[in-house]
Amino acid sequence: MDEETAPGQREVLAEVLHRFLVIEGVIGALLTRKDGQTIGSAIAGPFNEAALAAVTAFVMAESRAVAACLGRRELSMAFAEFTGSILLSFPVGSDAYLVIIARHPANIVKVQQTFRSISDTLRESA
């Protein structure tokens, strides 16, 4: 967890991120700042959180640039599929991203619904 996050807020953030781990296929949830710094995580696997956060920040910045080329559309989610796994990234306000790591089969609709239901809490933590 990031040192700038208050202790009580860290516990709330950890609880919120763990909600994703009960969704079919999800093996990780990571909240990162736009600069690639990790704010909080709940990951069940051997992942390099710092590298994942940094790369996600870059990918989301580029995705927003593509959205701008398409008529300044707002980016609501970036999706990348790899052999056996999926990466979903959601903007959290203007300064952070939620990264979800999942394996096939994953319930992407449930991930999106969960994100919508807790996005205000995530924004407060970012």
Q: Report whether 34 contacts 57 (CB < 8 A).
A: yes
pTM (predicted TM-score) = 0.87
From residue 6, give the alpha-carbon distance in Å to each of 44, 67, 102, 107.
24, 34, 28, 32
The per-residue pLDDT for range 40-95, each reduced to its tens digit, is 999 987 888 889 988 888 888 888 888 888 887 788 888 999 999 999 999 998 89
Q: Which helix (H) or strand (E) holds 73?
A: none
Specify the CATH number of the domain 7-125.
3.30.450.30
- Per-state percent for the chain, helix, strand, coil, to nearest 5: 45, 30, 30
Domain segments of the chain as ranges: 7-125
At 41, give phi and psi (nearest 5°).
-155, 160
